[in-house]
Amino acid sequence: MIVVHIPSWFPDADKPLNGNFILRQIGTLGDSIRSIVLHHTLEDFDIPMPENVQFHRVPYRRRSHLFSSYITEFQNIVKKYGKPDILHLHVALPLGPVAAHLARKFEIPLVVSEHWSVYQPMNRHTLRFYQKWLLRYVYRTAACVTAVSQNLLDNITETVPAAAGKPQAVVGNVVDSQLFALKETLPQEGRKRILHVSTLDNEAKNIMGILRAIQQLSLQRNDFQLDIVHDFQNKEAEAYVRDNGLSNTVYFLGRKTSSEIAVLLQESAFFLMFSNYENQPCVLLESFCTGTPAIATPVGGIPEIANPENAVFTAPRDESQLVDKLNFMLDNFQNYDSAAIRDKALSVCSPAFVRDRWLSVYRSVTK
């Protein structure tokens, strides 16, 4: 079976981690599928691709030529390998119209998988009229619509009614289960380490709410520290830490590799999220795969993977409640069964499980 993947989100020089979770999903397919990724990139930017995945670069000089460049390169793929069995669009915009056109022109089933939080109720107002029109066109063309959580699927159909009548499936994010291995028992002495990993986008991740809660917690106890891994700099957050005397409590670690994040999770007492909205955060699954419990808000698809056995929920934007939950977790994190947390996570995010889910979707649209 030949599957041509068209990802709207893809790594580039400015955002080398953009859409890396999409590439990890594609990588699970292995040798059972000839996976071809079709995307436009700069010639001098090297893309680390999963094994058994072929990359076809779409060359173009100006963005106005992008549509025709994709069609030309797709025709080259057809000449070389034959007509693909499936077109797989990852994130509906901006490349959805290209994928939908190719699906209609060559009469190939189109699978649309979604990760975008724009469908969440608090974000729908940001969609412009022409974007809504394009989304209708894409979803009307789709043979199957998938998303990383049931919550996101429901929000897609509410935002774009054209998706409501289509076959649907939940295919979650994948975690490298060997890299994110089970943690060892943490030592009793020393400060307890809390880990937060995000882009530091305050609107989504509420990093300032986390820091205000940590400042209040620091007035009650001093047996902890907060480590923050982040892709981008947030000067407001850094200034708050400096101005409130938290420099010996909060540490901005910058960007880290997956291997480094795995070690940090294994060394942490628990993982912390205080998001206003989410779909299915990869790093929360990674935390669970190391057996590390979490504090998280019950938003988006998080309640589909988090429960009292692996996490404590705290209400979004309620900083007073977050302080209480932090106190609880600092005193009780060692009571969680790390092995059970990991086993439950692997049942929904292991490479083998995600591969089987994709193969089931592909078989359903190529009967």
Cα(333)–Cα(337) distance, rounded to whole angstroms?
Answer: 9
Per-residue exposure over 118-135, b if at least 16 CB sit within 10 Å of its own CB, e if not: bbbeebeeebeeeeeebb
Pick from 87, 84, 85, 83: which is nearest to 97 by CA? Answer: 87
Of 64-68, 74-78, 209-213, where does mean pLDDT reach its minimum? 64-68
Q: What tens digit of pLDDT does each residue of 81-132 get?
A: 999 999 999 999 999 999 999 999 999 999 999 999 999 999 999 999 999 9
Secondary structure of residue 350 in the 3-state scheme = coil
Rg (CA), the chain: 21
Highest mean pLDDT of the ranges 17-31, 61-75, 217-231: 217-231
DSSP per-residue codes, 118-172: GGSTTTGGG--HHHHHHHHHHHHH-SEEEESSHHHHHHHHHH-GGGTTS-EEE--
By CB atoms closer than 10 A (0-12, 13-18, 19+), residue 93 is: middle
Whole-prediction pTM value?
Answer: 0.94
Q: What tens digit of pLDDT does each residue of 260-291 get?
A: 999 999 999 999 999 999 999 999 999 999 99
Task: Name the band, by pLDDT with cuts 50, 70 and 90, for residue 48.
Answer: confident
Contact 74, 37 (CB under 8 A): no
Torsion of CA 119, 198, 15, 148, to 10 degrees: -40
The per-residue pLDDT for 12 is 80
Secondary structure of residue 60 in the 3-state scheme = coil
**What residue segments make up the domains of the chain, in order of their start?**
2-174+350-365, 192-347
| Topology (CATH level 3) of domain 192-347 | Rossmann fold (3.40.50)
Average pLDDT, the chain: 95
Pick from 141, 239, 223, 150: which is nearest to 186 by CA? Answer: 223
* The domains spanning 2-174+350-365 and 192-347 adopt the same CATH topology: yes
Percent of the chain surpassing pLDDT 70: 99
Pick from 336, 311, 338, 337: which is nearest to 325 by CA? Answer: 311
CATH class of 2-174+350-365: alpha beta
Mean pLDDT over 151-165 rounds to 97
